[in-house]
Structure 1
Amino acid sequence: MAVSFTRFAKQMFVFFHVAAALLFLLACYGPYLSPERWWFLSFLGLGFAILLAVLIFFIFFWIVFAPRYMLISLLAMALGWKAITSFITLRPLPDFVAQKAPDTLRVMHWNVARFLELRRNDNNKSRVRARMLDIIKRQDADVLCFQEFYHSTDPQYYDNLNYIQQELNYPHVYFTWMEDGGKQWFGQAIFSRFPIVDTAKLVFPKPGLPETLLRADIAFGGDTVRVMTTHLQSVQFKKEDYESLEEIKSREDSMLQNSRSIFSKLKRAAVIRGEQAALVRAEMERSPHPIIITGDLNDVPNSYTYYTIGKGMQDAFLRKGFGIGRTYSGISPTLRIDYILTSKSFEVVQFQRIVRQLSDHYALVTDLKWKK
């Protein structure tokens, strides 16, 4: 039996419920609208988990007070079901089998954050790079796709390129740089144990950072697969921005003043990522081969970026993962911003996240095989 409460209170709760449902639906359909004009919808995408939680809360709330109002949440969730299934997957999660089947291609993606150590050292208490390389070695992947990869020809710094080629047995690599006298280079990299038969690079235009899209055509299983990896525009939060977020959370100082800089950076990054995503999509559509694309897209599943790049592709996490699939260890526990996407020519055999507090991103590994 429903518990009664005042008419005014009921009207207020209905109002907030309807408002939450409308914001939820805007977050669900925001990915279809370019952030150049509809940039504010990208903020709702970041809050998708909160809006979904509010709708679920109202379902249980109205069970007690007025069950018929549950329909507001149920209708909104039904209309936004596609967005929900892009955000979370609840299928049973089997153990990841370390031993590869002979006909599978194991792909590893990781934003390695320059391995956090640039200069050579013998400090056993701070050998982050060594632990990261050990994780990479133990995956025994056929293809490695790295973002924020670091390489140096200065003997005082780490030569990660040659180390991975020689010590980890990846003879084929695509990593581009220009000799500028600095002897240190950063960017994306693709390593492969299978032959690379063709390569190309797309440098995204300013005003974003000099991010790139790399592609390497790899001979595998009697056919050719186009492996692409990219790193899209980040928000570029600085130390003071993270401090502002903490002040907002604790309601210290001026919330308006702290929010202004943060929202400005979020808006700028969303617009630039939208432009970059369109360029990536155009490159994908020109491919004569099936595609595997990995990337730190710096955007959530309920975003224009993810929708543009992922349209018609398989998300390895959604196929074989479980839960929300957080890939970024900072700011929020709901940030899945790293992806492995594949053409439907592949079957996703298994998938895992490697949750280690080394880089600020978690590594992703998946096994793929050609569909018969």
Structure 2
Amino acid sequence: MLYERVYLHMAGIVRTLTKKLFISLNILLALCFLTACLVPYLHPARWWPVGFVGLLFPYVAILLFFYLIFWLIIKPRLALLPLFCLLAGWQQFASLFAFHFNKNQFSEVKIDPQVRVLSWNVGSMSGASKNKEKQKHARTEIADAIIKSKADIVCLQEFSHSSTQGPQANNLGLFKNDYPWHFYSQDYSRRQGFYQYGSVIFSRYPIIDSGKISYPGKRSESLIYVDILKAKDTIRIFTTHLQSFRFNDSDYQDMEKIKQQDSALFNASRNLYKKMQLAFTRRAIQADIVRGYTDGSPFPSLICGDFNDVPTSYTYSRIRGNRQDAFLACDFGIGRTYIDIAPTLRIDYILPDHRFTIHQFDMVDEDLSDHLMLLADLSLKK
């Protein structure tokens, strides 16, 4: 009898402690989620730790959803906490998740007067393979894939070119027959044009004006734009490549050490942390510059590019403003444009203003870059 009372008493203590543990974890998770909901409004130059929280938003949301189901089964009254948090994050969900269940297959046929826009980070035109021989052919394969897409406007980031190495490195020349007009940022140029690097815009339509806005910093790239003339309409196209984390091979090795809880875990984590902190801060400053120039466009405009940040970030929210997101307008799910590291990294975008109608959108994996190719058919509202 005594044994039974002791057993029941101990079981009660375990139940109470377990319940308190689950509630405490739920509260911590809720605080993390609510902080992530504030990320678009907190400037990383002043609140840089929130950048890390923004990356975790999808995973925290999933855990909160499981908590909601758990409490509904165990103790429905406690389900109010995760339910309240999830409802409070509706704006973040709206930026993250596309709800078009009946998504149509992308049609290769273009309908006039629609304009097909392509945006793609082409990884220095060297391809996704580490094989040196395959890298030699990647530049022509990338160009062929772009031309095959039948895009009218092509915005490429991490585009490399040489004006002195001859045909084997003349990447601008790969497009001259199909795209008579282009504007190239040439953010980096070494040895009198031996190697050039930056963003480029190619166009089938006449380019009547162009411009480049450099970001602060010695190694920063730029925001570029062109004004194209289609029939009687002038359209402004922006493209940019914002500050990346600049992860190299040693950084990816550090990630493996963290996953495996290697003895060098602390140093590996610190190295990655510093790079990410710097990138969050610089991207926020660049996003402010982009917003300032794009808001001042005298023509209907769209922004294409690799923002190197997710839809739940300050960077995305600041640049997008009240613009449309072609993915959200036509697709379904969370989406992914960067195929390494994590399955939730949608960091490349096509953002038209509301003077455009978005007819269709697609993300294409050509296995020629660590980014997917983005395509969208648009037309001006009349």
Task: Tell me the residue number matched to 2:32.
Answer: 23
Alpha-carbon separation, structure 2, partners of 1:242 and 1:256: 15
Query: RMSD of the TM alignment (CA)?
Result: 2.0
Unaligned runs of 5+ in 2: 1-11
Task: Tell me the residue number matched to 1:160.
Answer: 171
Q: Choose the corresponding residue for 2:83, options 46, 70, 74.
A: 74
Unaligned runs of 5+ in 1: none
How far apart are 1:29 and its partner, in Å?
1.1
The answer to whether structure 1 residue 115 and structure 2 residue 125 are counterparts is: yes
Number of aligned residue pairs: give it: 363
Alpha-carbon separation, structure 1, partners of 2:80 and 2:208: 56
1:174 counterpart letter in structure 2: F
The answer as to whether partners of 1:108 and 1:145 remain within 8 angstroms in 2 is: yes
Alpha-carbon separation, structure 1, partners of 2:36 and 2:339: 23
The answer as to whether partners of 1:103 and 1:221 remain within 8 angstroms in 2 is: no
How far apart are 1:126 and its partner, in Å?
6.5
Deviations 1:26-80 (A, max 9, x none): 1111111110111000000111111111111112222332222222111111111
Task: Tell me the residue number matched to 1:45.
Answer: 54
The answer as to whether partners of 2:208 and 2:226 remain within 8 angstroms in 1 is: yes
The answer to whether structure 1 residue 197 and structure 2 residue 204 are counterparts is: no
SS in structure 2 of the partner of residue 225 of structure 1: strand
Larger-Rg structure: 2
2:240 counterpart letter in structure 1: T
Q: Choose the corresponding residue for 2:254, options 236, 241, 244.
A: 244
SS in structure 1 of the partner of residue 333 of structure 2: coil
Q: Choose the corresponding residue for 1:258, options 251, 268, 277.
A: 268
Kindly report structure 1 stretches of 4+ aligned residues shifted beyond 6 Å: none
Percent pairwise identity? 39
Residue correspondence of structure 1 range 163-242 to structure 2 within 5 A: 163-166=174-177, 169-177=178-186, 180-206=191-217, 209-242=219-252
SS in structure 2 of the partner of residue 140 of structure 1: coil
1:191 counterpart letter in structure 2: F
SS in structure 2 of the partner of residue 353 of structure 1: strand
Deviations 1:170-213 (A, max 9, x none): 00111144685242211000000011110000111105x23011
Alpha-carbon separation, structure 2, partners of 1:195 and 1:210: 29
TM score, norm. by length of structure 2: 0.91
Change (3 A) 1:236 1:123: closer
SS in structure 2 of the partner of residue 73 of structure 1: helix
Deviations 1:230-264 (A, max 9, x none): 00111111211111111111212243222111111
1:340 counterpart letter in structure 2: I
Alpha-carbon separation, structure 2, partners of 1:10 and 1:71: 16
Q: Choose the corresponding residue for 2:69, options 55, 60, 64.
A: 60
The answer to whether structure 1 residue 273 and structure 2 residue 283 are counterparts is: yes
